[in-house]
Structure 1
Amino acid sequence: MLALATIQKHQSGYSAQFTCPLSHAISEVWAVLTDNGKLQKWMSNLEMVDLKKNGNMRFNMNDGTDAFIEMAITDYMEQEVLEFEWGKDSVRFMLSPTSDGSILSLRETIGQLSDHTPKDLAGWHICLEQLSDLLNGIVHKEFPMEAWQNRVAEYTLLVDEAEK
């Protein structure tokens, strides 16, 4: 079970940090992060287009309209770092080896907290759990809305606390 993210206040805004210990090699985790066939099994909206620094990816609306948002890849180091625009904010995945696998860290840099922030963080939480499941051979057919709603409640409390 993935622990809740930690939220910190900074001069320029906030950051939310998820830490996900995995019993899988970095190469396996990297493939799940960057290979569209695997990526879309845990985050169906994301699509890699030009996987490199200053490349781009898409957030597909998946609403039947073929609409998408283009997002710039702002930092990239093969099997170490993938950072991209996330609206006005950014999301950074970092991988580091451990003696029995790897640690996947996700840091979302948030300029301004909003009513949507807990929903966004809850979404990342559920997606990271699905990423971990995928590495363990479990594929979820649908996004677990009830689990997401429970996480929204938890992240609402964390965001409220961070604002104080």
Structure 2
Amino acid sequence: MTAEITKNPTGYNATFDRYFEHSLEQVWAMLTDNHKIHRWFSGLQMEEEGETGHLTLDMGHGKKKEFPVTDYKTGELLAFEWGDDHVRFELGPDGQGTRVKMVETLPNITDQTPKDVAGWHVALDIMEAILDGRGIERTSEWERWYPEYKRLFESMGVDFA
């Protein structure tokens, strides 16, 4: 199931609502423990955890982008800048598992946007697969979801020509 794309006063939101059959502690560790982060998002790293912390993304060739944390509550909430966008993970217990709500706030839609949203979709799928102890092929999954997101944005009147 794709993310829900909605218009907001300053752009769009891409909201992913997922349920993982794993404890809140296990899911939280996927977002904050660098050994686990690297398995689902290569190059992303939590440099400093907490409200004044930041993440970095290794862009290759010795270059890193820094993404300041904008909201943080241990075990419940991690939000950070993502270039011009903003990413927010909200976690909560749900029965035996964890409800994960991820919202990417998109002030500008470009031809890169459906690629990025498909990337977050696959990143969440990979996170779940790791927790489940099963494999997943990143590239083929992305190639499956990217056209779906491109069509979704086009159906909202976004023109990528």
- The residue matched to 2:118 in structure 1 has which SS? helix
Aligned to 1:110: 106
Aligned to 1:97: 93
Would you say how many aligned residue pairs link Structure 1 and Structure 2? 158
Output the amino acid matched with 1:59: L
Per-residue CA deviation, residues 88-118 of structure 1 (Å, 9 max, x unaligned), is 1100001011112111111000001110010
Q: TM-score, normalised by structure 2?
A: 0.93
Q: TM-score, normalised by structure 1?
A: 0.91
Cα distance between partner residues in 2 of 1:28 and 1:87: 27
Aligned to 2:29: 31
Output the amino acid matched with 2:139: M
Per-residue CA deviation, residues 51-83 of structure 1 (Å, 9 max, x unaligned), is 11121110112x3x1211011000000000000
Measured on the aligned residues, the alpha-carbon RMSD in Å equals 1.3
Output the amino acid matched with 1:6: E
- The residue matched to 2:22 in structure 1 has which SS? coil
Structure 1 unmatched ranges of 5 or more:
none
Cα distance between partner residues in 1 of 2:4 and 2:139: 22
Cα distance between partner residues in 1 of 2:149 and 2:68: 27
Q: Any residues of structure 2 matched to 1:136-155 within 5 Å, and which?
A: 136-138=132-134, 144-155=138-149
Runs of 4+ in 1 over 4 A off after TM superposition: none
* Residue 88 (structure 1) aligned to one of 84, 96, 99: 84
